[in-house]
Structure 1
Amino acid sequence: MSSSAYRTHHRYAEIAGRQIFYREAGSPEAPAIVLLHGTPASSHMYRNLIPALADHYHVIAPDYPGFGQSDRPTVDEFDYTFDALADHVDALLDHVGLTRYALYVQDYGAPVGWRLALRHPERVAAVVTQNGNAYVEGFVGDAMEPLFAYGRDRSQANADVLRGLISPEGLKWQYTHGVSDPTVVDPDSWTTAHAAVADTEDAIAIQLELFADYITNVELYPRVHEYFRTSRVPVLAVWGRNDEIFGPAGALAFTGDLPSAEVNLLDGGHFLLESQLDAVVTLMRPFLATHLR
């Protein structure tokens, strides 16, 4: 493969009448891996992982509607739910022509990815979960309670707590907390995240809708666990063990339904790739070589 194949291409596809942005690299003839981003983030969080995988894999990393470079319809124009995010990613993968792939999921990428797997279990060859939760054991203390509280009562007081999470200070905390040496985390990571999800009142309103919908992900967990048990999908968990949003118990919980799941707790936080990219790639390469052919 020529070195040009490793370049990341920045593309748009019209999905359900909206422009959905995605990053693509590697040969379309190679095995495919789909990188599903979290929040506060976009596919920008995979800017360094994509070229690290593109020598052997066809890599696709979309931005969900309302995130990053994708169209951002207002909450009056679009129903922001995790089902809707999954609908658009599902249609994008059909547009690209992917019928078999590995998933890399982080944060919001997990509930999007679990929905894809439940719809098309035959398509998912393997899963890499990086602080991508599927178990209530993964919730650290009361970290998720503000989301659930807002889902129960969309009061201004409950909304203000969530606004703090995606304020500039809250974004910096999410990217640097749990990192032994925060100086290795590029400040552009959280300033880009701010532009991707929280730079206008319309953008914040989108995030609040998804915060309120998060309970649907927890309600989906029993079906996800059954999928794990019946499919025996290969899972590699690479987890920032100092994450105070989704803690290491969430990584270890995968082994209850998937005894062969590979669990690795690394020194890092919620956005592990910002500080431990090389370690993650080192773990991914043999896993993908075994399970994604």
Structure 2
Amino acid sequence: MDPRELPATWPFRLQARRLRAGPHDWWVAELGSPDAPAVLMLHGLGASGHSFRRTAPGLAQHFRLIIPDLPGQGCTRCGAVDRLSLNRIAEDLWMLCESLGAAPRAILGHSAGAAIALQMALLRPVPRVVGLNAAVGAFEGPAGLLFPVLARGLAALPFVPRTVSTLMGSEARVRDLLDGTGSKVDDETVALYVRLVRDPDHVAGALGMMARWNLDPLLARLPGLSSDVVLIAARDDRTVPPRVSHAVATRLVRGRVIDVEGGHIVHEERADGLAGLLLEALQFSSDSPKIN
């Protein structure tokens, strides 16, 4: 999306700017005091930084929040499609942090953003990682074989993004997609996603990321991760079942799970964006008792 065409009411429109770092032209919002501990916030596949619009106000009182749109999604222009793999996105996000003069004390990621957060923590030390409905489980059965092939095929066809935008960009279709995640959201939330889905460049970026998505190297290295990790799992999530977070936590040296009510985008269901719970998670101590 072109940020110049965003309405003034678009979340973080006034706090965001363009920044060239590494291969990408990032669209990144910053909230909170520049002297506060930095927290990098990463949205999930097919979303944008807007998804933290209800979460950020409560956290910005305590942290310097850095909220980028991921490469090719939202308003961030992807500079090289071969940089859309999990590891390379993590590398490029570290370049973004360097350009901002930030060394995140914590990385908060939703869904695929949580997998990227864990990958970043494997590349450089990060004291805390918080994953919200973390998409860190491999696809099971035939889907594990068919999904990557299908995604690569779709991403290679230049007409697909525009076709998807046309077919799926109605309010009714988008509402059905969001309802299918187990979340019950308001009209404002639906309207924001309608704008994203109607943008072929955004769809192309999401498909490009899907086509290169491979969790196997990350999952193999998780037992060696030294970061404190808090995984928040919503009980009604139909996209990433809670058992995924519980299974991953058993592979982590310092992993915890907190179960909550809600669906996949529970932080967009809640009026406070789960800010209170996330604030506790971001201040997580390794000496705290295990939460199940």
TM category (shorter chain) comes to 0.7 to 0.9
2:130 aligns with 128
TM-score (normalised: structure 2): 0.77
Q: Return the alpha-carbon distance in structure 2 between the equivalents of residues 24 and 59 of structure 1.
A: 5
Task: Please report how far the alpha carbon of residue 226 of structure 1 lies from its aligned counterpart in structure 2 after TM superposition.
Answer: 2.1
> One-letter code of the match for 2:63?
Y
2:168 aligns with 167
Task: Please report how far the alpha carbon of residue 125 of structure 1 lies from its aligned counterpart in structure 2 after TM superposition.
Answer: 1.4
Alpha-carbon deviations, 1:13-54, whole Å to 9, x = none? 111354211111111211111101111101111122111101
Q: State whether residues 8 and 51 of structure 1, in contact with CA within 8 Å, keep that contact through their aligned partners in structure 2.
A: no
After superposition, residues 207-246 of structure 1 pair within 5 angstroms as: 207-214=206-213, 216-223=214-221, 225-228=222-225, 231=226, 233-246=227-240
1:188 aligns with 191
Q: Return the alpha-carbon distance in structure 2 between the equivalents of residues 170 and 85 of structure 1.
A: 29
Secondary structure of residue in 1 paired with 2:283: helix
Comparing 12-21 with 62-71, greater Cα deviation is found at: 12-21
Residue 63 (str. 1) matches residue 69 (str. 2): yes
> One-letter code of the match for 2:242?
P
TM-score (normalised: structure 1): 0.77
Q: State whether residues 26 and 55 of structure 1, in contact with CA within 8 Å, keep that contact through their aligned partners in structure 2.
A: yes
Q: State whether residues 196 and 202 of structure 2, in contact with CA within 8 Å, keep that contact through their aligned partners in structure 1.
A: no
Structure 1: which 5+ residue stretches go unaligned? Answer: 1-5
Q: Return the alpha-carbon distance in structure 2 between the equivalents of residues 47 and 141 of structure 1.
A: 36
> One-letter code of the match for 2:15?
H
Task: Please report how far the alpha carbon of residue 237 of structure 1 lies from its aligned counterpart in structure 2 after TM superposition.
Answer: 1.8
Task: Please report how far the alpha carbon of residue 271 of structure 1 lies from its aligned counterpart in structure 2 after TM superposition.
Answer: 1.2
Task: Please report how far the alpha carbon of residue 62 of structure 1 lies from its aligned counterpart in structure 2 after TM superposition.
Answer: 0.8
Alpha-carbon deviations, 1:131-170, whole Å to 9, x = none? 112234xx578776652342676698xx89x959x93366
Task: Please report how far the alpha carbon of residue 73 of structure 1 lies from its aligned counterpart in structure 2 after TM superposition.
Answer: 4.8
Q: Which has the higher helix share?
A: 1
Aligned partner (choices 262, 282, 286) of residue 288 of structure 1: 282
Task: Please report how far the alpha carbon of residue 259 of structure 1 lies from its aligned counterpart in structure 2 after TM superposition.
Answer: 6.8
Secondary structure of residue in 1 paired with 2:189: coil
Q: Return the alpha-carbon distance in structure 1 between the equivalents of residues 140 and 112 of structure 2.
A: 16
Task: Please report how far the alpha carbon of residue 263 of structure 1 lies from its aligned counterpart in structure 2 after TM superposition.
Answer: 1.9
Q: State whether residues 171 and 190 of structure 1, in contact with CA within 8 Å, keep that contact through their aligned partners in structure 2.
A: yes
Task: Please report how far the alpha carbon of residue 179 of structure 1 lies from its aligned counterpart in structure 2 after TM superposition.
Answer: 4.3
1:3 aligns with none
> One-letter code of the match for 1:130?
L
Counterparts in 2 of 1:92 and 1:175: CA distance versus 1, 3 Å: same
Aligned-residue identity in percent: 25
Q: Return the alpha-carbon distance in structure 2 between the equivalents of residues 130 and 9 of structure 1.
A: 24
Task: Please report how far the alpha carbon of residue 90 of structure 1 lies from its aligned counterpart in structure 2 after TM superposition.
Answer: 1.0
Task: Please report how far the alpha carbon of residue 245 of structure 1 lies from its aligned counterpart in structure 2 after TM superposition.
Answer: 2.0
Q: State whether residues 181 and 265 of structure 2, in contact with CA within 8 Å, keep that contact through their aligned partners in structure 1.
A: no
> One-letter code of the match for 1:226?
P
Task: Please report how far the alpha carbon of residue 96 of structure 1 lies from its aligned counterpart in structure 2 after TM superposition.
Answer: 1.3
Alpha-carbon deviations, 1:170-200, whole Å to 9, x = none? 64334233546444773223213315xxx22
Counterparts in 2 of 1:55 and 1:244: CA distance versus 1, 3 Å: same
1:19 aligns with 25
Q: Return the alpha-carbon distance in structure 1 between the equivalents of residues 284 and 86 of structure 2.
A: 31
Q: Return the alpha-carbon distance in structure 1 between the equivalents of residues 140 and 13 of structure 2.
A: 38
Aligned partner (choices 98, 105, 109) of residue 102 of structure 2: 98
Instruction: Give RMSD over aligned pairs.
Output: 3.4
Residue 115 (str. 1) matches residue 119 (str. 2): yes
2:256 aligns with 262
Residue 250 (str. 1) matches residue 254 (str. 2): no
Q: State whether residues 180 and 267 of structure 1, in contact with CA within 8 Å, keep that contact through their aligned partners in structure 2.
A: no
1:87 aligns with 91
Q: Return the alpha-carbon distance in structure 2 between the equivalents of residues 24 and 135 of structure 1.
A: 30
Residue 276 (str. 1) matches residue 274 (str. 2): no
Secondary structure of residue in 2 paired with 1:257: coil
